[in-house]
Structure 1
């Protein structure tokens, strides 16, 4: 799924990519794998003018009143009434990500990509034209923990009714055409070939294996060149019947709807899904040993990835870790890592860190690229910055600045229906309380330097880091000395 870049305090906004384990893992863009010429032509020929015009309106700050219930089939529903615009957003979040693949890596991704390829009487082009003709937008995506299907539509009954009918067919009764499966497999296989030229992706794949071993999080969400070809239509249908069941979904609704209308929509969608219970939660992974791996790759740059297992989404230290990481490397300029590695020495264009809490312990990761001949020194510098931060913690000024930035960016996280519906889906999927967002802000604002330092040390250690580098083996040069004058042109220009 395509996503726009949010405010620097991205963890607060609970974007779906982060919730699914996206930071630094170079997730494959499934929109490319599911796109077809017919779909592209339909989008190009019939622009969503009505929704584009609605998007241009200034966002309004609102207090969220989250209502919740369950459908007759067992689907959890979260709903926020928002009458500012004559439209609504509907997100279905299934526990149907790649962690449910079993031995068929890529099964979840293929199933999700095939949803809108065909329903009874309609092929992919007709489905796309059907949504576009109603001023509606269908979206889908598959990640580590979850799979998503979404609908954005005008709320007028003459538009809403047909859009919901088509959406329910696409998600609940896809036909999985054989020709579409062959085409998407070929697109994935072509993507795997391209990945061989991407050192960041190669390093990420190796890092995941080292970090998670035999755990379901270890394999790539899109599968492999070996696992994709054998997957059959029967496997897709069986996975859909099991993982896209009404008892395995969270329905999030935001928009110009009454409670009765929202109940009717949720009931309609839930009834269209296969019948079945929620799938078991993913088990926690075993803690790996620290290790260092290198992938030889011809380039002037070396990609450096450092990671260890972090936390799951329900960990009580999440607020403290979010704030602590924001200071370490969770944003742009001004973080500890960016200041020491780029601003003072010009070793990279960017260095970032982040927690990706998931259903089980997701990764904490640091990623950057630097000149190959300075890769060893840069790796040691990053290690030293992290060690110093864990030893001494943030300064009071750093903490106050991070809190102020969080307070300033929070209104953006509930300024649009699309941002709210994504948050509701995550809250429902991870069983977070309905007042989670408000409580999260209060918790963060109350944190002290000692609390942040304690949480970071509880969950992070430089002695547990798994490091994977990808680049050439070349003689090393010493790092330039630090300077207080910001470097205008970094020494290393990323090539990938």
Structure 2
């Protein structure tokens, strides 16, 4: 993981299904290629002429209004390319499944499987023939539905008409449900051979108990076979209502055109209000859980409750975590566990702020016969970091790196649509991005240390390991040239 990835994941990490490998990662949903690749040849410059200064920040003039049906709209004009990105964010993630895990995912996956007069193939061919791209996905907090299209009226209008039908008139065909359900069931069987998945699922059960974040976004082998068309139709009617969506729109449009698009999309949705807020989870019991799994490596997962998306300590925790383990090479965890001892291929930490308290997680793989020593080492490294805080040098270096990567979080219209969707969904200030950067640059060592200690404790971790029971070996002492190289590419 690098600084660019960590920052792009800054807002939309909450979209993730939150499997082990997804902590602090960018949005896992399919995204169109970056528009920044479209550069006129006569504007290319030689590498020698490039400045060493940070990239210029893209100024966003965010316009905000509500449709007649109650949908919130955030819009940014961007006329560099004849395209636009439309992203709808619904409070319709797996945390809204109730007692039917997988309901939110199946409902979202079925949206583009059929509309009156068109099956899934005809829908796909319709978008493709217009040069448009449709995508969708479901995560714990939210469900997304997106459209990228050319902005010329002869392409835009039919693409929006088809998009409106997919959103407003899904037929939920039985044959598609059978196919998707079978795919999920096959995936569950594969997960039984994946220790990372097994550990992740168990971690969330232990961390969240009866809270809606407990179960996996893709449901369970027990729940998915019983989900029927009527359940999906009912879920769609309440969770895909116009009052339960944020519409993000970015591209080659003026305000009048944007208002017309938002009104058209909003009117195609079921009528209804926003769903109620999620409850806050109870503090879990800090315990160790073991999953026996035959392999040469052991997966170690550490987690405790973190923060909500609107927590005022967000910037301080983001910066503090970049130093601890969120920024890849050069972090405390990577240096001590991989570089000095050769115990792992990679170790990462991250906060995932969500509508309710999301997790703070650390994950790694290590040799099975050194797993217990590695576990205690990680716990001690966290304890030391909380007691001492970051150094001034670490703070300044990470401030520079965050500032340098910031422009990349808005390199394309799709990136901006992501940011707008999250700002609207979590009800953040329209100036959030600018405010975040200003806060980062003014934070002191003491402020970061205090924020970390308000939200984390080395004694509060829920820990799950997945691997074999074997005799343990002592850890090698730290060295600039460890005797053993880091273990190879992770098994799973």
* TM-score, length basis structure 2: 0.93
Structure 2 residue corresponding to 1:56, chosen from 34, 37, 40: 37
Gap change, CA 1:412 and 1:215, over 3 Å in 2: same
Where does structure 1 lack aligned partners over 5 or more consecutive residues? 29-33, 36-47
CA contact (8 A) 2:307 2:353 kept: yes
Secondary structure of 2:326's aligned partner: coil
Pairwise CA distance, 1:166:
0.5
Partner of 1:290: 286
Please name the residue that 2:216 is paired with.
220
**Contact 2:3/2:401, CA 8 A, preserved across alignment:** no
Deviation at 1:494, TM superposition (A): 1.9
How much does 1:145 deviate?
A: 0.5
Secondary structure of residue in 2 paired with 1:269: helix
Structure 2 residue corresponding to 1:348, chosen from 344, 348, 358:
344
Q: Shift of residue 289 of structure 1? A: 1.2
Q: CA deviation at 1:492?
A: 5.3
How far apart in 2 are the matches of 1:73 and 1:418?
25
Deviation at 1:62, TM superposition (A): 2.4
Higher mean C-alpha displacement, 18-27 vs 473-482: 18-27
Distance in 1 between the 2:487 and 2:109 partners? 41
* Alpha-carbon distance in 1 for matches of 2:379, 2:205: 22
Report the CA distance between 1:14 and its aligned residue: 3.1
Pick aligned residue for 2:200 from 193, 197, 204: 204
**For 2:448 and 2:5, how far apart are their aligned partners in 1?**
16
Task: Confirm whether residue 69 of structure 1 aligns to residue 69 of structure 2.
Answer: no
SS of the equivalent of 1:349 reads coil
The superposition leaves residues 375-423 of structure 1 with CA deviations (integer Å, 9 ceiling, x where unpaired) of 0011011111100000000000000011000000001111210100000
- Does the Cα contact within 8 Å between 1:26 and 1:204 map onto a contact in 2? no
State the match for 2:99 in structure 1: 103
1:334 matches 2:315: no
Superposition deviation, residue 24 in structure 1? 4.8
Runs of 4+ in 1 over 6 A off after TM superposition: none
* CA 487–97 in structure 1, closer or farther in 2 if over 3 Å, else same: farther
Following the alignment from structure 1 to structure 2, what is the Cα–Cα distance between the partners of residues 10 and 337? 16
Q: Quick one: structure 1 residues 493 and 6, their matched pair in 2 at CA, closer, same or farther if it must change by over 3 Å?
A: closer
Q: Does 1:410 align with 2:406?
A: yes
Looking at structure 2, the residues matched to 27 and 414 of structure 1 have their Cα atoms a distance apart, in angstroms, of 21
User: Which of 13, 19, 23 pairs up with 2:14?
Assistant: 19
**Corresponding residue of 2:434:** 438
**CA–CA distance in structure 1, aligned partners of residues 416 and 34 of structure 2:** 19
1:25 deviation in Å? 3.6
Aligned to 2:26: none
CA contact (8 A) 1:310 1:362 kept: yes
**Residues 1:127 and 2:123 aligned together:** yes
**Structure 1 match to 2:136:** 140
State how far apart, in whole Å, the 1-side matches of 2:34 and 2:191 are.
38
1:464 to partner: Cα distance: 0.6
Q: Measure how far apart 1:26 and its partner are.
A: 4.8
Whether the aligned pair in 2 keeps the contact of 1:23 and 1:354 (CA below 8 Å) is no
**Distance between the aligned counterparts of 1:8 and 1:108, measured in 2?**
31
- Per the TM alignment, residue 56 of structure 1 is displaced from its structure 2 partner at its CA by 2.4
**Structure 1 partner of 2:307:** 311
1:458 & 1:54 partners in 2: Cα distance?
40
In the TM superposition, what is the alpha-carbon distance from 1:155 to its structure 2 partner? Answer: 0.3
**1:487 to partner: Cα distance:** 7.6
CA distance in 1 between partners of 2:446 and 2:138 (Å): 38
SS of match in other structure, 1:141: strand
User: Does the residue aligned with 1:463 lie in a helix, a strand or coil?
Assistant: coil
Q: Which residue of 2 aligns with 1:263?
A: 259
Unpaired runs of at least 5, structure 2:
24-28, 40-54
Does structure 1 residue 180 correspond to structure 2 residue 176?
yes
